[in-house]
Amino acid sequence: MKAGGGRLVGQVLETLKTGGHGVTAKPTPGPRTAARLARESIDAGADLILALGGDGTINEVAEGVIGSATPLAILPGGTANVLCRELGIATSAQKAAASIGDYRAERIAVGAACCSAAPQRHFLAMAGVGLDAHIVYRMSAELKKKWGKLAYWIGGFSQLVRELEEFDVEIDGQDYRCSFALLSKVRNYGGDLRIARSVSILDDTFEVVLFAGKRTTTYLKYLTGVAVNQLDGMSGVTILRAHRARFSAAEDERVYMQIDGEYAGRLPGQVEIVADALTMLIPEGYGERRE
């Protein structure tokens, strides 16, 4: 599955065919179509679903594969490629395609998120509530296309002039108050940072990082903590492991959720682990590379 088409798709197809793989390309004609295409391919007997695109496209394809026995493999083709970077997949889609036969199959857990009246959606990498979801919600497709990853930094710095919305988080009977919550199954955040540092996509729990405070200037301190790997123990930061978290906000507060870099909805909401959900092809040595 690929968002769009063009020369890159042709090169990847040629690389795969040279490697002895029989491939049928199915471009995604628009948003929310990749899951259906993946399910149709599985029903037609496909023994592997290969997603070429960014984290949003991969998320959509995975939605159609979750719950089946058919493996999913991914190739980079988007803005941040968080999941590909996490797994150590080559940044070139052609190089990644040439190595696909060397990957191993792993059955993994995924996340499931639901917000307000929105239907449940699954995700592979992370869910964010509050600050980063607000940035995603306000970001236009044109800005993202023009500036790539820089668009997220532009959106982030634009938040420094306002007071952040706070919300409540309930985890294992304990209540927390924060303005940004990250529930992650990967260490890589946005392609440039590591916020959750002790988690793996092979884990059956989230690493949860909660940031307190309404003042955006406080996040300059948090960002420094991320840069020097000193978040753990920092005032205003809570780090824990969890299978599930519930989120709520005051009726007059508009607090959003994002999953895998895509807008998911508005609070109230819930995020939870779905065990044994998906078979993914992963490069050899991924588990051994964890710090």
192 and 49 in a common domain: no
Tokens 């029989």 identify what position? Answer: 22
**Tens digit of pLDDT for each residue in 129-162?**
999 998 888 764 444 554 455 445 545 555 666 7
Q: Are residues 271 and 159 in the same domain?
A: yes
Whether 165 has a pLDDT exceeding 80, the answer reads yes
Q: Are residues 115 and 29 in the same domain?
A: no
Based on the domain organization, do 170 and 226 belong to the same domain?
yes
- Supply the pLDDT for residue 149: 53
Number of domains in the chain: 2
Whether residue 37 is predicted with pLDDT greater than 50 in this model: the reply is yes
Same-domain status, 45 and 80? yes
Give the Å distances, CA to CA, from 265 to 83, 113, 120, 146.
22, 9, 10, 25
What digits encode the pLDDT tens for the residues 91-138? 899 999 999 989 999 999 999 999 987 889 999 999 999 999 988 887
Pick the more confident residue, 156 or 195.
Answer: 195
Look at residue 158 in the predicted model and tell me its pLDDT.
Answer: 58
Q: Does residue 229 belong to any structural domain of this protein?
A: yes
SS3 content of the chain, % helix, strand, coil (to 5): 30, 35, 35
Predicted confidence band at 288 (pLDDT cuts at 50, 70, 90)? low
Q: Which range in 29-43, 47-61, 170-184 is most confidently predicted, on average pLDDT?
A: 170-184
48 lies in the same domain as 137 = no
Within 10 angstroms of residue 24's Cβ, the number of other Cβ atoms is 9
Please indicate, yes or no, whether residues 115 and 257 belong to a single structural domain of this protein.
Answer: yes
Are the beta carbons of 64 and 35 closer than 8 angstroms?
Answer: yes
Q: What is the CATH number of the domain that holds 221?
A: 2.60.200.40
Angle at 140 between CA 192 and CA 168, to 5 degrees: 70
Q: Are residues 61 and 127 in the same domain?
A: no
Are 98 and 115 in the same domain?
no
Percent of the chain with pLDDT over 90: 64
Higher confidence at residue 219 or residue 277? Answer: 277
Is residue 280 assigned to a domain?
no
Percent of the chain with pLDDT over 70: 88
Residue 269 sits in the same domain as residue 128: yes
Same domain, 271 and 164: yes
Query: Number of H helices and number of E strands within the chain?
Result: 9, 18
pTM of the complete model = 0.88
Same domain assignment for residues 88 and 156: no
User: Which residue blocks in 23-130 are alpha helix, DSSP H?
Assistant: 34-43, 55-65, 82-87, 93-98
DSSP-based three-state secondary structure for 49: strand
Q: What is the mean pLDDT of the chain?
A: 88
Domain limits for position 33: 2-102
